[in-house]
Structure 1
């Protein structure tokens, strides 16, 4: 897989929470950090995602906001 996105993080799926339309997929990176993604049930099935499967989080954002407490 080759993509133009530079933020490609490899991890392992640790939980899947399916819903009626979407699923929440939680993956864990090598350092223990977790990333959560929402995807359609169709994509969940098409990608054959399951707990324990190695996957990539591909992050492409035109902007990232940072906030602080007053």
Structure 2
């Protein structure tokens, strides 16, 4: 399983960090790209910038892009 995500962090909470102890960090991210690959096959791909939404190889937004001339 492979997950690829792109975006920008809008909030980062580093918590309290102490030397020699485990730490945890909380991130809040605005995701503009997401791809889920299982056994080498792309299952889901969402690209909000380029208006792409593929599920099991079928682009659900292809007709919409063509209709608006993209």
Which TM class, normalised by the smaller chain length?
Answer: 0.3 to 0.5
Q: Which of the pair is proportionally richer in strand?
A: 2
TM-score after normalising by structure 2:
0.32
TM-score normalised by the chain length of structure 1: 0.32
Higher relative CO (Cα under 8 Å, sequence separation at least 6) belongs to 1
| Structure of higher CA gyration radius | 2
